[in-house]
Structure 1
Amino acid sequence: MQNQDQVLLAALLRTAVDAIIVINDRGIMQSVNPATTKLFGYDEAEMVGENVKLLMPSPYRDEHDGYLRSYHETGRAKIIGIGREVTGKRKDETTFPMHLAVSEVPLGDKKLFAGIVRDISDLKNAQQQLSEINDQLEHRVRKRTSELHAAQAELLKAGKLATLGQVSGGIAHEIRNPLNAVRTSAYYLRNARNLTPAKTLEHLDRIDRQVSLIEKVITALSDFVRLPEPRLTKCNVNELIADVIADVSVPDSVSVQIQVATDLPIAMVDPNQISIVLHNLLRNAADAMPDGGTITLASNVTDTEVVVEVIDTGVGIEDEHIRRITEPLYSTKAQGMGLGLAVSAAILDKNHGHLEVESQLGVGTTFAVHLPRHFRA
């Protein structure tokens, strides 16, 4: 039975992934396993019989005998039974970070000490890269936070939002998921064992992607609150509608119809900004019809306004969503930041117009863009 135990122990030492070094009470190496020779670059014959200080750079090699002497004299163990991070030295004089765990092995009237060594170079490299990314992230967050504070000041000054609570709630919703992904990858990189370079790169790329998503949210919000003042001019709305239709591509399953008034008066607006509004409404209409349908653009006139209607035969919008549909960062879509309609409403407000919405579930939705007429003097 004893022979079987010895055979089993020898097999375990031979096949162990970690380096295992056995020393006596004077620090002389008694045995090493194959993982040790591979890690340090020595042959077994070059190690057994030598002081374990051979595998240590200064100052560890200078302190090692003192550790053993102190343990013999006081019985107080500083590293025995406690794993710690130290530095190892290979035969070629290169050094590397390693985790060392030492345990005492009583053998009759002798005391031996077994050290288990693991190379943690990959983990340290990952931690270094993570630290650099954290520094970059902190810098970018500080920069974007400063921009956000400036944007909030503009919002307050312009009175575009009833409360900042709506904005902060929307921002929290948009950045919570990417932040959680960053936190998960950071935790993995800090704590994973046997971390491979490929796995490290995968999580570093994931962190970078999520930070980019956060930046897009902040940039979109900044662009929204810094909307320039319109350059009001006489605008032929029917021509504007034709230009927008030519620019916007819709799925083959969606058809676009035009029903414009031939004697439509001129509107007094910024054509470029109103074009943005119509582009947003056309894209939203197409998104509302995943199975296909019809978009109708109609124009008409009242005593004081030119009205453009974008009508779809899509799924419709529930009443509870219609009340909030133009709020910044509020969206009924699975993807998207919910700024398209908010931007459209803000543009129309600056152009002295407004947006009206009517919808019926299962039938479709009509967005009516009301623009001020131009009256000749």
Structure 2
Amino acid sequence: MKGSAPEQPSIAELQAALQASEQISSAIVETAVNAIITIGATCIIETANTATERLFGYQRSELIGQNISILMPQPYRDRHDGYVRSYLHTGVKRIIGIGREVLGQRKDGSVFPIDLSVGEAVLPSGRRIFTGIIRDLTERKALEDKILHISEEEQARIGQDIHDDLCQQLAAIGCLAKVAQKNLSKAGSAEADSLAEIVQLVSKANTRARETSRGLMPVVIDSGGLMAALEELASGTARAFEVACDFRYDNPVQVNDNKISVQLFRIAQEAVSNAVKHGQARRLDIHLARQSGSIVLTIRDNGIGIPQSPAKGTGMGLLTMSHRAQMMGGTLKIEPRHGGGTQVTCSVPAPAKNL
């Protein structure tokens, strides 16, 4: 006896199940903490949840039908549609499926940091839709900025203490030792030569201490700013490590935002240190330029390149450089050079008063 076929659901039951599924999906999107937005291939906003209204200050009715670039500051607003067209044409993904920290702009014009994750789906009809999930990073960035600010203040304090205390003591010891050496020399003592060597060692120690002090002090605009600090970094590196290190620029680049100056200087400082200590570089080149509304800092070396397994102690430095770049709304690239060595490139939007 053959078993009876399972009873097929009716059209009404299928419709009810579909409606229930849609309600569940809608409820999940609506109750999500993060903003969720969908757009089509033309970059027009099709849906937005309640969290989007809270985050950007727009009513949903003000967003639907608008270009997604309404939620971005310049210069990203003008560039966004071009990025999407480029992706649709080439298939090269810049952010889809990856996620990135970028900047958003609220209805009131205020700009704030966000974490953006973008997914893509192709509907049975062949139409593409893109879903963006946006998380506000304002509080986290404020905390990170505060931590780095405290770190900078502490480094500056240590640098000042070295300059005002240790360097002065070394200078005094050097003077006393020099006087004693001269007296021994006049008396014809055989110890005069030994004391002369001590005088030279104290002098060298004082020089290194002063260089360390300057390295710990933040960039000061009044004393020449970032360009002067990078010039000193190059010359100090050449003296301390006996390597060739040059600072170059195509045209003078004045950065009138001291916070950006400090962060760029610290990135250069870390990159140079890694190149000499871990990359075994014998030649380094520090380059500063202004390109298409951005300030671009490049550090090149002829060392052994990027190791497969970073040396102990370098991981945190690389993460710190990346974080500093993100704090300025910029990007950091670390890549091998053709022919050997490493290139570190940091590009940050130029402050409005520098454009």
Q: TM-score range by the shorter chain?
A: 0.3 to 0.5
TM (normalized to structure 1)? Answer: 0.39
| TM-score, normalised with respect to structure 2 | 0.41
Which of these two proteins has the greater Rg computed from alpha carbons?
1
